[in-house]
Structure 1
């Protein structure tokens, strides 16, 4: 059985799975400290927002009002409140038999579960959304199905089921490359970039750094072309690519990515201490001791001001290494 057919078989098996709605009783942004590779949040990239759901629901004011409050709670990281209100919204949609509203709410629930890494719940919810869409005659090549397939591959990835995740990512990338070639919309490019980034990080976890770097750089270049990408997302990608170059012993390349990440992040409300430490260590490996001391010294100041002990300690270690060489 070919890889493509094998994934299709796995996919069809998932879709035939029984969706026990009663088991759905409860539905962080990235952290840089103490983590070698971080994963940018994709919560804002919801399937039905992309497809213009809000306009279609304009007549159902009460339901829209509830859903908007759900999204607001999610944006404020008040996840428990968001989940409680999502179930209220689900009951509202069911009472007025608003099928698109029901599907949309399940999609928001699924994305929230994925963001919180409640993986079994996320998997079940994404399957429910896909079943509801395909019940209306939508085919597997439809952008909505590909979008959901990416999320299911991500769930397998986070569950460390790497073989299934790889099959899923490969299948989705095949569809997305064709879609972008035919109609390169910002939405399709964004989904492709997100998929490449996740796939690259899977390869990092499997210690296949060259492959991982290739996908992450492709993702970054695509993200640069999408006008509504959050700058914070680009900062994280730049820093993480720099970290991979550093892991591969390519300090010169890593310095350029760390510097770009810092330059972009200076105008944002972000903790850049870890990035200054990364830059300092890259300078150290390049024997640029004055630049290394300056960068790690600034990281130490940021760690003290923000009371971030991890950054402070990492900066102190970096400075000690510099002094031993100087």
Structure 2
């Protein structure tokens, strides 16, 4: 328990995600909102939600967190149900790794209250509630490397990041990443009848989510080479597990391009964002106009002003069609910047 306590800070256990712990990355990606990278200023949402894929703009309400559905819903890997013979939900069983893990009704309530507090930006309250939830779980049979505990720890790390508690945030992120890497190494050769492939994939996706969240924090504090490394690992996992055309893979390509562009690696950034734009168009990605905006910005930095203008105009057209007022304003500002650069280059 000492490692989880250290990651949570102040001797307590850490906070969890806005949905039920253990939700695969696909579901997590669908609920995340907001702008990504320096070319897209974020909409109004808490910094912790941005670090950990919060409920910002850019996603439909139907794609929000499993926290918006009652326990026992069909979203996520875990299933909660009343134990046999109970008339009231005094104790709930959570189907997790290796069988049923019993959650007391109090723990479930604390966890859901923590979710609500987090979504409302009440981070101090969310921190306390997540810690209480984890304390109850760890006092029982739940192990420190259980995906539920690790996803809660990741949420707490994002809260510390938003509170500018750098040491605690980094400790939390690194605890999640290192623990998951060790867990994946141990599970690698386990046969299907011992650990199903789906369970292995879910753990890898949780590692991808942790790497992505840490990368965004590192980008925010301008540690660009480290952020690049985290994005590269997260992209590899998403590509391997979910495929190149998955929406999350496209987003990560775009994000990696952003951090490469910020370091002046324009050619490499262009190769990633160009592929992201191609995939976004092919798959009718909901954020295609944002990817195009990043593509145009990188073209501008490469001083390919004519092509940049054409891509900006397409991005603007799509943003207007989608009624994305924030993106429309941002793209118009970028077009104005492009005009200045073109004039200065003559």
Instruction: Using structure 1 for the length normalisation, give the TM-score.
Output: 0.71
Aligned to 2:301: 285
Q: Given the alignment of the two structures, is residue 270 of structure 1 paired with residue 286 of structure 2, yes or no?
A: yes
1:247 match: 262
* Structure-2 change in CA distance of 1:229 and 1:289 (3 Å): closer
> Equivalent of 1:194, from 209, 212, 232?
209
- 2:95 alignment partner in structure 1: none
- Higher alpha-carbon deviation: 170-179 or 137-146: 137-146
Where relative contact order (Cα < 8 A, 6+ residues apart) is larger, the structure is 2
Correspondence for 1:120:
124
* Alignment of structure 1 residues 38-77 onto 2, 5 Å: 41=53, 44=65, 52-54=78-80, 56-57=81-82
**Pairing 1:310–2:317 present:** no
**1:1-326 counterparts in 2 under 5 A?**
8=6, 11=9, 13-15=11-13, 29-32=32-35, 33-35=40-42, 41=53, 44=65, 52-54=78-80, 56-57=81-82, 93-94=89-90, 97-98=91-92, 100=103, 102=105, 103-184=107-188, 185-227=200-242, 231-266=246-281, 267-268=283-284, 270-307=286-323, 308=325, 309-321=328-340, 323-324=342-343, 325=345
Aligned CA distance change for structure 1 residues 272 and 199 (closer, same or farther; 3 Å)? same
Rounded Cα–Cα distance in structure 2 between residues aligned with 1:300 and 1:143: 41
Structure 1 residues 146, 280: closer, same or farther in 2, change over 3 A? closer
More helix per residue: 1
Q: Which has the higher strand share?
A: 2
Q: Residues 45, 248 of structure 1: CA spacing in aligned structure 2 closer, same or farther, 3 A cutoff?
A: farther
Structure 1 residues 50 and 312 mapped into 2: Cα distance closer, same or farther (>3 Å)? closer
CA distance in 2, matches of 1:139, 1:204: 32
Distance 1:34 1:10, change over 3 A: closer
* DSSP-derived class of the 2:89 partner: helix
Matches of 1:115 and 1:257, distance apart in 2: 32
Runs of 5+ unmatched residues, structure 1: 17-27, 63-91
1:146-166: CA deviation from partner (whole Å, max 9, x where unpaired)? 332222222212222111011
C-alpha distance in 2 between matches for 1:101 and 1:138: 12
Alpha-carbon distance, 1:285 to partner: 2.5
CA RMSD in angstroms, aligned pairs only: 3.7
Q: Matched residues in 2 for 1:229 and 1:45: separation?
A: 25
Q: Which has the larger radius of gyration?
A: 1
Question: Offset at 1:318?
Answer: 4.7
Give the TM-score taking structure 2 as reference length: 0.68
Paired residues in the alignment total 280
Point out 4+ residue stretches in structure 1 off by more than 6 angstroms. 4-7, 45-49
CA contact (8 A) 2:7 2:175 kept: no
